[in-house]
């Protein structure tokens, strides 16, 4: 047991530590950028990334997966923070940054919801996500990461943003390409040195010692309105009573935002977990990850962090750099905190171009290039879902794209199965007409099922055989009940054969007289109808 625990914590300490340091460097501008998106101080994002990272790396369900402040959740936070600030400024005694205080309260609820999802074992539902949705999610995410990095090719002068031009653009592109070249070529020479970390150090050294004037982490933060990687950790404890007073009449926005943030965070985290499982050919625990994500968000709410979820870009950097154990994620989180507390002046000198180059390599490694080869080979419905999920991911966000993709896939599956219902007809020697039903009987196929029968012209004795069919839900049971009633209303005898005990119980509950209609057999199938519990409560 102890050996297994140690193996999960670290399989290769050197790789985990070096990979964690690489990830920590990449986390800095991401956390800062997402904090700006949400409209809060960069330090809130950085401390939030630390707390998310340390909790999920130690207690999460996927060793090697990285969590932190994310853009998907930042976009949802904006409206809540703006509304809170409006309420705070309108009070008789105005409260500054009330929206941020509301965010902390919301994160407590988010954590509670996510922990409940883990306890109720809802994490397993990520297995229901079709492969076409997963590929669309990965491709869309790669495009989103790429587009987010394009903003780094802008500069801000007197509050106005414009694209880099001329020499500035050439220098930026040169440093980005150099970073990518090192990351591409170094693994071909040796894999003992992490390529991403080496690329960042080399490019940073060229910029610092060559005194090249380019955008750095420090200038990026200051251009966005921050003061650098220094300051105090925000907290709401001193204003707790005033805070709850201001929430009177505004709980609806808190609760609705909490549920949305919890859903977005879990979907992105579980999708990332599934992707990392595929990359490492291992299996994590979705339910454990739900609990860890919830605990981390509660910690953020208590101590003034932004909150967040799993980060697919940084997780891929970690895996590709050799980080497999929990030590890699813990190292990244602790290193990030040390950068903020002790190494701020040094980290602020790292050129943004180096980090952009690392993220561009993540884009190349994330995008499922094989989707171009298989697009014309897979069913058109799967191809449509793949493209649609990619587009919705770019247009809206990851959570909406995944939900939409699952719904489209489910509807496609239901439609295909709805058209599969068949009825082979034959007549016995005694004149009894037999309908041998083939295919699933559920809500989507009940209409086709009913059209298979000719009640008016059928003989007086009819047998409906379900040996090659499965009644999947309550709609199917109701369709059977309806056709039996039609035959009986026409004065004809009908017999149902090869029904599961579950189907028999549901039919007899509504129509006890069906006891004379159902024929028992030693080879009756055994399966359950989905809505058995719901039906028993009606």
Same structural domain, 326 and 461: no
The token duo for 362 is: 């993540």
Same structural domain, 305 and 424: no
Answer with the one of 301, 319, 341 that is the final residue of a domain: 341
Answer with the one of 285, 312, 341 that is the final residue of a domain: 341
Nearest to 326 by CA among 8, 1, 32: 8
Residue 139 has pLDDT above 80, yes or no: yes
For residues 77 and 527, give the distance between their C-alpha atoms in angstroms, rounded to a whole number.
45
In which domain, by residue range, is 63 found? 2-157+225-341
- Interval 141-182: pLDDT, tens: 788 878 878 888 888 776 677 888 899 999 999 999 999 999
Same structural domain, 337 and 457: no
Same structural domain, 435 and 287: no
Nearest to 518 by CA among 478, 466, 458: 466
If one compares 240 and 527, the residue with the highest pLDDT of the two is 527
Q: Are 353 and 214 in contact (CB under 8 A)?
A: yes
Residue 4 has pLDDT above 60, yes or no: no
Query: What CATH number does the domain containing 423 carry?
Result: 3.30.750.24
114 inside domain: yes
59 inside domain: yes
The pLDDT assigned to 537 comes to 40
N residues, the chain: 538
Same structural domain, 428 and 516: yes
Nearest to 535 by CA among 482, 485, 478, 486: 478
Q: Are 61 and 274 in contact (CB under 8 A)?
A: no
For residues 173 and 171, give the distance between their C-alpha atoms in angstroms, rounded to a whole number.
5
Answer with the one of 279, 309, 341 that is the final residue of a domain: 341
Task: Mean pLDDT check: name the lowest of 85-99, 374-388, 399-413, 452-466.
Answer: 85-99
As for how many domains the chain has, the answer is 2
Q: Are 453 and 427 in contact (CB under 8 A)?
A: no
User: 498: phi > 0 → left, psi -120 to 50 → alpha, else beta; which?
Assistant: left
Same structural domain, 109 and 230: yes
Tell me what the mean pLDDT of segment 110-117 comes to.
95
105 inside domain: yes
499 inside domain: yes
Same structural domain, 270 and 140: yes
For residues 479 and 471, give the distance between their C-alpha atoms in angstroms, rounded to a whole number.
10
Residue 129 CB coordination number (10 Å): 18
Residue 524 has pLDDT above 80, yes or no: no
For residues 210 and 280, give the distance between their C-alpha atoms in angstroms, rounded to a whole number.
40
The pLDDT assigned to 224 comes to 66
Phi, psi of 241 (to 5 degrees): -70, -45
If one compares 338 and 127, the residue with the highest pLDDT of the two is 338
pTM for the complete prediction?
Answer: 0.70
118 inside domain: yes
Q: What one-character DSSP code corresponds to residue 194?
A: -
Same structural domain, 456 and 313: no
Same structural domain, 46 and 148: yes
For residues 10 and 17, give the distance between their C-alpha atoms in angstroms, rounded to a whole number.
9
- Interval 420-464: pLDDT, tens: 889 999 999 899 999 999 988 888 899 999 999 999 999 999 999
The pLDDT assigned to 178 comes to 95
The pLDDT assigned to 193 comes to 76
202 inside domain: no
Q: What one-character DSSP code corresponds to residue 323?
A: -
Same structural domain, 27 and 128: yes
If one compares 164 and 11, the residue with the highest pLDDT of the two is 164
364 inside domain: no
For residues 495 and 479, give the distance between their C-alpha atoms in angstroms, rounded to a whole number.
15
Same structural domain, 329 and 442: no
If one compares 112 and 513, the residue with the highest pLDDT of the two is 112
The token duo for 7 is: 């193996």
Same structural domain, 293 and 435: no
383 inside domain: no
Tell me what the mean pLDDT of segment 274-303 comes to.
90
CB-neighbour burial class of residue 515 (10 A; exposed 0-12, middle 13-18, buried 19+): exposed
């Amino acid at each position: 047991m102890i050996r297994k625990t140690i193996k999960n914590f670290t399989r290769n300490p050197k790789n985990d530590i070096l990979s964690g340091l690489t990830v920590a460097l990449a986390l800095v501008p991401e956390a800062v950028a997402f904090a700006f998106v949400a409209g809060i101080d960069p330090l809130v994002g950085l401390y939030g990334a630390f707390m998310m990272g340390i909790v999920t790396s130690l207690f999460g369900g996927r060793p090697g997966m990285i969590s932190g402040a994310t853009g998907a959740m930042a976009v949802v936070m904006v409206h809540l923070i703006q509304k809170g600030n409006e309420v705070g400024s309108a009070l008789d005694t105005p409260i500054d940054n009330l929206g941020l205080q509301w965010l902390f309260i919301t994160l407590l609820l988010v954590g509670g919801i996510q922990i409940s999802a883990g306890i109720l074992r809802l994490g397993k539902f990520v297995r229901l996500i079709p492969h076409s949705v997963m590929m669309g999610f990965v491709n869309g995410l790669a495009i989103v990461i790429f587009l987010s990095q394009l903003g780094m090719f802008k500069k801000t002068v007197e509050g106005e943003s414009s694209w880099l031009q001329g020499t500035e653009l050439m220098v930026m592109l040169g440093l980005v390409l150099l970073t990518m070249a090192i990351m591409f070529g170094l693994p071909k020479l040796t894999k003992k040195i992490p390529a991403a970390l080496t690329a960042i150090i080399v490019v940073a050294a060229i910029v610092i010692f060559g005194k090249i004037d380019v955008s750095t982490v420090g200038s990026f933060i200051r251009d966005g309105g921050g003061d650098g990687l220094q300051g105090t950790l925000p907290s709401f404890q001193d204003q707790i009573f005033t805070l709850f007073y201001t929430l009177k009449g505004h709980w609806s926005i808190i609760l609705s935002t909490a549920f949305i943030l919890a859903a977005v965070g879990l979907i992105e985290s579980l999708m990332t977990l599934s992707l990392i499982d595929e990359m490492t050919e291992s299996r994590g625990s979705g339910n454990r990850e739900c609990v860890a994500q919830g605990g981390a968000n509660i910690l953020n709410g208590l101590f003034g962090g932004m909150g967040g979820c799993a980060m697919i870009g940084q997780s891929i950097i970690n895996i590709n750099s050799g980080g497999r154990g929990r030590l890699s994620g813990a190292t990244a989180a602790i290193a990030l905190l040390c950068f903020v507390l002790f190494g701020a002046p040094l980290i602020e000198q790292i050129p943004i171009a180096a980090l952009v180059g690392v993220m561009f390599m993540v884009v190349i490694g994330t995008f499922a290039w094989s989707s171009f080869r298989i697009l014309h080979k897979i069913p058109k419905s799967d191809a449509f879902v793949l493209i649609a999920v990619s587009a919705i991911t770019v247009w809206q966000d990851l959570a909406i794209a995944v939900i939409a993709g699952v719904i489209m896939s489910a509807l496609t599956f239901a439609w295909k199965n709805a058209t599969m219902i068949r009825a082979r007809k034959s007549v016995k020697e005694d004149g009894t007409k037999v309908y041998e039903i083939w295919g699933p009987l559920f809500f989507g196929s009940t209409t086709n099922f009913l059209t298979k029968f000719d009640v008016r012209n059928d003989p007086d004795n009819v047998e409906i055989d379900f040996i090659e069919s499965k009644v999947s839900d309550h709609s199917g049971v109701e369709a059977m009940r309806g056709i039996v009633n039609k035959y009986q209303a026409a004065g004809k005898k009908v017999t149902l054969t090869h029904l599961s005990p579950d189907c028999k119980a549901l039919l007899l509950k509504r129509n006890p007289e069906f006891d004379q209609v159902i024929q028992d057999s030693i080879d009756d199938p055994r399966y359950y109808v989905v809505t058995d519990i719901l039906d028993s409560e009606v």
